[in-house]
Structure 1
Amino acid sequence: MVDGNRQAVDSIDRRTTIKIVGAASTAALTGLAGCSAIGGGESDWERSIGVTTSLTGPVSEWGQQIDEISGTSEQIINEEMDPDLSGISVDDTAGSIEEARSLIQGLIEDGVPALTGTLNSHVVLGIKERIEDEGVPHIAPVAGAPEITDENSEYSFRLVGSNEQVSIGALQFLESKDISNLAVLTGDYAYGRSVANALQEHASDYGITIDDTFLVPHPENDNFQPELNQIDTDTTEALFFPYPSGSGVSLINQAHELGLPDELLMMGDLFYASTGLRPALGENLENVYHWGADLSTPLSQRLQESIDGTLSAPHVIGFDCNYALASAMNEADSLEPSEIASALRDLNLDGANGFNINFGEHGHNEGFQMVVNNWVMEDGELQSQNEFISDPIPSQ
């Protein structure tokens, strides 16, 4: 059953903060003409990375964790690569396309040759034209809209798979759990519809039937009981809810009120990988499967040792974007953005996340694998533990 026809309306409280990580000062990132490039000679570009992300507003929990890992990223990169980065700048887009465009333009004018951090698909698509026109590479960490990387993409890259790739990965996981009937509950906006359509298109390839797909108004809706009450637990075995932001907390709590987690396998998207959910949900978060990151890789272990608190998927994904850009600078032996972009397309890199970073001709990560984690109670604390890693899922 499909319910709801309203488009999402973004409500954004715009506020901006700027943080320069590591020893670099604002002046060090200004990219004054005459600074030395890697290969010698004169260049207007500085060996630095610009991170524009949501520290406030939509998906700010993710953005804050990407911010948290920036200092550790710089430290590890400088331990492994020579010469050192002069800094990683972290700027707050507050989920605004206009703010993101302005920040990116300022970073480019200041000589920053490589960018990452933008989370929302609508914001990434909103800056894509500027990225391509200015000719500076940008890696979207998690944004899934297929148009982000296409035949017109020369400087746009994507670390995690498209909505279709991650949907196929989710179906592979559900198949491994012997799930044959799935219900989907998501927001009635571009991301939710895209994932729901991809799941419906590919479900039969994995022996799965989707009888119920609920599209609810987003972001204004916070009551999911009408949809949850319609799920037939006699036939439905799992509920997949690619539903982001604070409404996801309400969704899980209301599912518990109805006793659904006792009847269904519960699976969410990357939003549910955030450690920020633990205070809000407590034990209700237990046994919520979610797209995640392999926290057991050698690089993930180094990250865990370098940060206060618990490592989570946003940390790992944020690190991998920085790591890929710095590796491309080294491979290119140049700070010219066009050379960095070319090196990104030739990259074959094992990051922290458990899958290979191998961008195709148009910026897709052809090495992407779906990583699924589960929240389990260990030593009295909820931990996100790896449950499943798919085979590589090529762009469709």
Structure 2
Amino acid sequence: MSRYILSSAIAMVITLGTASTVSTQATTAKSTQQASIMVNNQVFAKGVPAFVKHGTVWMPIDTVIRAIRAMSDDVTYDGKTLLINNLALQTESLKPQNPGTIDIADGGFVEDHVPVEIVKSGTSDVTYVPVWYVMHTMTQGSSGAYASWKNGRLTLEDHALGVPSSDEIDRVMASAVESSAKGATGEHFVLTGKPVSVTAPNGDTVTAAIGSRSPSADGYGQVVFFFHNRQFVGLDSNDEKTSIRSVKPAGDGGMSFNVTYANYAWSDPLYSPSLPLVTVTFAWDGTRFSPIGKASIPSGATNGLRVHVNPTLSSANVGVPSAPKDAKQAIETALPKGATLVNRPGTDSPYLSVDLDGNGHYDYAAAYSDGSTRQTGVMVVDQENGKWSVLLNRLTDGTELREFNAGAMTGDGTDSIAIQSYVGDGANDVTY
């Protein structure tokens, strides 16, 4: 039984396409096999003992826990409850387990009464857990992990790994505001040139991108935006620079960049700085980018303006392509009479992208409030022969949107949509 730890809420998962579990041909008898585990594109374990029972692969829970921890996730297991990235969760908020079962929780999402089986191995006992339940909990929960199974391999990946997309960079830069001593100028930032990325052997990536204020009559006014994997982590400084000449990997084998600034004397025209260029090396310390060595951004490189990034807007919809105008129009046209779109919690947009059939082309969804019943609904449109049409239009039992997300939940390469809506004193159930 799946549920969310969310007071007085009901959740529904909508899956289009064929759902699959981690399985071979279903059988009530065990068939043994060996499995492997990949973590963030690196081989974590080979020859892991496993067996198939009731059509689902079971693996040693201790091995699975170590693999999750390899992604730097916080995990605890007390023999009754497996907690992932929610160590503050009060165990009394979980239901008592039946004999031979455990609860698995990731953030506020819980899989109740997950079966486990103890197998004798020499002089010790090894606890096995169905891998599908672990995968499902992690993809439903807030760990930000992607879990999949294929050809005897469990793959765990941090969703944030990799370089940020142009949409993600644009979203962060659009949330950066230029200000003067008199207050905000109304100008934001846009990407200039090509972002520069450095990837470590373990797949960890850092990216630097130059943003220029927009609109701009002269083309000057820039800052460097830094990303760790696909997460924005800060600017080179909050002081706007007049002109950034280049950003390059530092070439020291580490996760660092050389940023070169134009340096102006107070009387120099914009087109002709008279002071020597200054290069500052910024290195990733695991938390933020900081200048190293004796070099620092000179005052002659700055223009007296400040830049501030709205963290809420910069993190909203990370990884989600913007819905095209005609897809939005198709959704809005198909809304029931009197219905209004509802923004996704924590974002400033009602639209959600989702690849429901796993073909690499996005469909688009939106949540809305029904005009007559006030129930929360979800609508999905897809494109065929260049035209967007309604693929799904469904009402939930709730009247207030609590969560609206999409992601891989079945392990079959397709996305699913999860929507939670407040119903009052109702059960905390997830159906899928």
TM-score by length of structure 1 reads: 0.25
Which protein has the larger Cα radius of gyration, Structure 1 or Structure 2? 2
More strand by share: 2
